Structure 1
């Protein structure tokens, strides 16, 4: 099958990327241990310890306490009313991962003077949807309700996430609209997983490469949505939503060589159809999570800078 070539800036690193192989309890346990050892709060703020501080707390969730980490500038230069806040929802399957996986926006705390929070949620298949969605929505509610205590303006609350975290970001944004919940100023969806189906052209073109192959995708789809997709609806699989009107301004980016490319482009088109201001970027030759795995590649730097530029314009910073 014809397909675009992989980006040469990322090619060498791609050869070392492991696939999301979690189809047995043993593999899942091993992968989770690997992720938890690799993604930590110390690694997240490495090199920024002098300018960014953090606090870890337990907040109430639908099934009990949830651990969150809150990041703030050590020397804030903004008044609270001018300070944005962002909730990060992590990726990872959604059968793996922790709150630091995919937290590539630590620079937002410094460059935007923002307060950032990242939260845990229950993982599949032990807890299929909507467990992760409701946990993430509870984190959104808590962050909004505690904005003054945390030090940011609740009218400047951004929700963001990549991959499965992008799925949950889009889902909680829909829930906030339909439950008259927290005000969301904007959503940032990084290579989001939005559809419970795996039949697009991009899946056919790039379903043979790491870190998310078609086989991996089918496995975690069954974990999250059930073998008969009985847990899939417009909130857990936002591509199913028939009406996206009333959602906040949206930023979507995805790689040209990502299995989620086509569903992300389709979601952007649906947002435009329903009158939602949306900016879409498709990064040439880039595979799933490219900026997380190869943050210093020129195209990764471009992607991260473009997200910040969009937020600056949105927030008037």
Structure 2
């Protein structure tokens, strides 16, 4: 059944028209999607090479080493700031747990690096369907522990008490899962979590998924396959850490920022998650951006609605570290 839906933001039309390609199955299609989703620093850094530096580090993982990228400001005045003053942002990339890499979505954090002198660390993790959950969330939790333990060392150089974790889409799922694990395992402290249009639920049946399930880059069909890849067809790998929307008690979590587009398939589950956070006593800021589809900011970063979203996140971070 088709449902009436608010219109898409016309400023995003040019970016949206570029989406091409197959679904996630059969395996040949997934291979094509993976090839098209891989980014490199040389591609992503065009225009910011003189402002942001990039180095890599290998982090011990549960099964094998995890590659991470470290981004920091090149501004001379930022170099003189003490590590104790700096904020660290640990980023988990999107891609449905089955594609993309650590550079995907990082462009939306460039302002935090340039304006807040944030140190951004973005990690790889094992992908589905070869490695179903909880492989992804355990890799990310291992990266979180390592970053927290090594925060004050020169390689990272930020205050471990000012660690924020963030991610978009599947990266938002992993951010929420890591935050819950940190609470339940009495892990290192987290100052706040930033969830960009996070993938939180496993039902694939919300109103927003029905309204916008035909809208690329992430369709309802993509979502169904990715859920099976990550959780199994019988959801044998589902828990509150891999499906955070299943958690009914979110108390004890850090301050949270959630944003999502009005035309995003995950709009409904993200709004519900914000309500559960509020009902659990967690300070939460929620934004729903008019006419914006899934991943709008990273694919159309110059659009007005994308710039509004990036500014709102930056303002939240500034208030968080005051």
TM superposition score category, shorter chain reference: over 0.9
The CA deviation at 1:47 is: 1.9
* Partner SS for 1:43: helix
> Equivalent residue of 2:11, what SS?
coil
- Structure 2 regions of 5+ residues with no counterpart? none
Find 1:223's aligned residue among 215, 220, 229: 229
CA shift for structure 1 position 18: 3.0
Deviations 1:109-152 (A, max 9, x none): 11111111000000000000000000000010010000111100
Deviations 1:198-234 (A, max 9, x none): 1111011111111111111101010011001111110
- Confirm or deny that 1:206 pairs with 2:212: yes
Count of residue correspondences: 314
Which residue number in structure 1 is paired with residue 144 of structure 2? 140
Equivalent-residue separation in structure 1 for 2:50 and 2:115 (angstroms)? 14
TM-score by length of 2: 0.95
- Return the alpha-carbon distance in structure 2 between the equivalents of residues 161 and 25 of structure 1: 26
Cα distance, 1:19 vs structure 2:
5.8
Q: Give me the whole-angstrom Cα distance separating, in 2, the residues matched to 1:105 and 1:295.
A: 11
**Using the alignment, how far apart are the partners of 1:18 and 1:137 within structure 2?**
33
Query: TM-score of the superposition, structure 1-length normalised?
Result: 0.97
Residue number among 22, 25, 30 corresponding to 2:24 in the alignment = 22
Shift of 1:52: 1.7
1:124 and 2:165 correspond? no
Q: 1:296 aligns with which of 295, 298, 302?
A: 302
Partner SS state of residue 50, structure 1: coil
Aligned residues of 1:136 and 1:172 also touching (Cα < 8 A): yes
Shift of 1:179: 0.5
SS state of the match for residue 229, structure 2?
Answer: helix
Q: What is the alpha-carbon distance in structure 1 between the residues aligned to residue 210 and residue 321 of structure 2?
A: 38
1:73 counterpart residue number: 73
CA displacement at 1:12 relative to structure 2: 3.1
Kept in 2, the 8 Å contact 1:77–1:113? The answer is no
Q: Is the 8 A contact 1:20 1:210 kept in 2?
A: no
Where does structure 1 differ by over 6 angstroms across 4 or more consecutive aligned residues?
none
* Map of 1:258 onto structure 2: 264
- How far, CA to CA, are the matches of 2:300 and 2:99 in structure 1? 20
* Residues 9 and 292 in structure 2, CA contact (< 8 A), matched pair in contact too: yes
